[in-house]
C-alpha cells in the first residue's frame, strides 16, 4: 500500500495563498511574504510540522506558474527550497503540470513535466513515491484541480494570521461536489465536500490543520 496524496499549502485567514501581483519576482505577491513566517522564522511547533511533512514526502506535484517562481532568479537555491531552509542536495522528485515544458531551467533536480493534466501527474508521482506521500504543493489551481479530480486523501492547511485582502484565492474555483479520494469527480451540484479534522497544531505564526477528505455530503432538502 502506498502513501497518501496530500494537498499541503499555506493560506491567509481570508483565504488567499498569495497577495496581489504574484509572479517570478514576487512569488507570494507584493506584501504576501508574512504568511510564510512559520517556515522562515518558525517555533518548535512549526519546525516539527515542516520536518514531518518533508520526511513523509515521496514526490511533489506543482503547477507551471509555481515552477516558474521557484526556478526564477529569486527562487530556490542550495540553502532554501522544498522543506524550507535545509540542504537541498537531497530532494524528492518533482512533477510539474504544464501545457508546454520549458526550453531551459535554472534548477538542478529531478523534474518531470507532465502535459496530460493533474491526475496523470499524481499517478506518475505515486509510481515513484513508494510508501511515502505525494504532496500537491500548489499553486491554487493545481490544488483545486487535484481535489476536483478526486485524487486527494488529505488537505493540510497552514492558516497564517494575516488578512491579505486580495490575491490568489485557494478554493475559489472548486466545483461543489468534487470527487473525494475515489478517483472520480461527483460533479457540480452533488453536495458539499465533507472533511474530517484529524489534527491541529498551533503556534503564533500559523494554525496547522490536517483534514481527511471523506466525500460529498448529502444534499439538503429542497426549500422555497
What is the tens place of the pLDDT at every residue in 78-92?
766 777 666 666 789
| 164-180 average pLDDT score | 79
pLDDT band at 189 (very low <50, low <70, confident <90, very high): very low
Residue 144 pLDDT > 70 = yes
Residue 64 pLDDT > 70 = yes
Residue 23's pLDDT is what? 87
Q: What is the pLDDT of residues 96-137, one digit of tens each?
A: 999 998 888 888 778 999 999 999 999 999 999 999 999 999
Residue 219's pLDDT is what? 52
Annotated domain spans of the chain: 5-216
Residue 3 pLDDT > 50 = yes
Report the percent of the chain where pLDDT is more than 90: 66
**Over the chain, what HEC string results?**
CCCCEEEEEEEECCCEEECCCCECCECCCCCCHHHHHHHHCCCHHHHHHHHHHHHHEEEEEEEHHHHHHHCCCCCCCCCEECCEECCCCCCCCEEEECCCCCCCCCCCCCEEEECCCHHHHHHHHHHHHCCCEEEEEECHHHHHHHHHCCCCCEEEEEEECCCCCCCEECCCCCCCCCCCCCCCCCCCCCCCEEEEEEEEEECCCCEEEEEEEEEECCCCCCCC
Q: Which CATH superfamily is domain 5-216 in?
A: Dihydrofolate Reductase, subunit A (3.40.430.10)
Residue 89's pLDDT is what? 66
**In whole angstroms, how far apart are CA 60 and each of 52, 64, 201?**
15, 13, 23
Does residue 105 or residue 94 have the better pLDDT? 94
Q: What is the pLDDT of residues 34-53, one digit of tens each?
A: 999 999 999 999 999 999 99
Residue 1's pLDDT is what? 57
Half-sphere exposure of 18 (CA within 13 A, CB side): 20
Mean pLDDT of the chain: 87
Report the percent of the chain where pLDDT is more than 70: 85
Q: How far apart are CA 212 and CA 197, in angstroms?
A: 6
Is pTM beyond 0.85 here? yes
Residue 181 pLDDT > 60 = no
Amino acid at each position: 500500500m502506498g502513501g497518501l496524496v496530500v494537498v499541503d499549502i499555506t493560506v491567509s485567514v481570508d483565504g488567499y495563498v498569495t497577495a496581489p501581483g504574484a509572479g517570478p519576482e514576487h512569488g507570494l505577491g507584493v506584501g504576501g511574504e508574512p504568511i510564510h513566517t512559520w517556515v522562515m522564522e518558525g517555533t518548535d511547533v512549526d519546525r516539527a510540522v515542516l520536518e514531518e511533512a518533508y520526511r513523509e514526502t515521496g514526490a511533489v506535484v506543482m503547477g507551471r506558474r509555481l515552477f516558474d517562481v521557484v526556478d526564477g532568479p529569486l527562487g530556490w537555491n542550495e540553502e532554501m527550497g522544498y522543506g524550507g531552509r535545509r540542504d537541498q542536495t537531497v530532494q524528492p522528485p518533482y512533477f510539474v503540470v504544464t501545457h508546454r515544458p520549458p526550453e531551459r531551467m535554472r534548477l538542478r533536480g529531478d523534474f518531470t513535466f507532465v502535459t496530460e493534466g493533474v491526475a496523470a501527474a499524481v499517478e506518475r508521482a505515486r509510481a515513484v513515491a513508494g510508501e511515502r506521500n505525494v504532496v500537491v504543493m500548489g499553486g491554487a489551481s493545481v490544488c483545486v484541480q487535484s481535489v476536483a479530480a478526486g485524487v486527494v486523501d488529505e488537505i493540510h492547511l497552514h492558516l497564517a494570521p494575516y488578512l491579505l485582502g486580495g490575491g490568489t484565492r485557494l478554493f475559489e474555483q472548486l466545483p461543489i461536489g468534487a470527487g473525494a479520494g475515489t478517483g472520480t469527480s461527483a460533479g457540480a451540484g452533488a453536495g458539499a465536500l465533507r472533511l474530517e479534522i484529524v489534527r491541529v497544531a498551533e503556534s503564533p505564526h500559523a494554525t496547522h490543520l490536517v483534514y481527511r477528505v471523506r466525500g460529498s455530503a448529502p444534499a439538503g432538502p429542497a426549500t422555497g
